[in-house]
Amino acid sequence: MAQFYFRYGTMNSGKSIDILKVTHNYEEEGKPVLLMTSGLDTRKGVGVVASRIGISHEAVAITEKMDVFDYVSNMVVKPRCILIDEAQFLNKQNIYDFARVVDELNIPVMAYGLKNDFRNELFEGSKYLLLLADKIEEVKTICWYCEKKATMVLRLLDGKPIFEGEQVQIGGNESYIPVCRKHYMNP
């Protein structure tokens, strides 16, 4: 029986390297896998899953209007698993489509992403993943400033924390750092 997984963590928790590792394992065993990512993430190009340690892999870019269920059900060779990076950027319909893929096509879906943004609010995709996922797992990392578990993300502008602005701003270590609650409240 297929299940819907949501693996979330802050920036720098290793989500992308984990998804690339799982993709590699499926491919090495000769099992078809579908790697997907949000079309909003353009750091390494559209449709590329990339880890900060330098490993990357081509993926299908998910757009806001994409009918994911139709895309998967029309595939000639069905994947044994679907892996999604940057799932926080997906919309409600995308998440519901993936739930249908699990329930109606019996294909496991593993979504990876951030839970909350730099304002400490849920992303739309994460909200619906938390509601619909069969299994929810945290990918852990430590606070940039101390040894506690990081649960939040600080957005930086010229090295200083900011708490206002557009929810989505694509960036890496130059823009975001993982922090614990204490250092989010008092950076």
Distance between first and last Cα of the chain? 45
Q: What is the DSSP letter of 43?
A: B
State the catalytic residue, choosing from 29, 58, 86, 121.
Answer: 86
Question: Cα–Cα distance between 118 and 16 in angstroms, integer?
Answer: 19
Alpha-carbon 180 to chain mean position: 20
Question: Cα–Cα distance between 187 and 184 in angstroms, integer?
Answer: 5
Cα dihedral across residues 117, 120, 124, 125: positive or negative = positive
Active site residue 121: no
Q: Residues 12, 141: contact at Cβ < 8 Å?
A: yes
Catalytic residues: 86
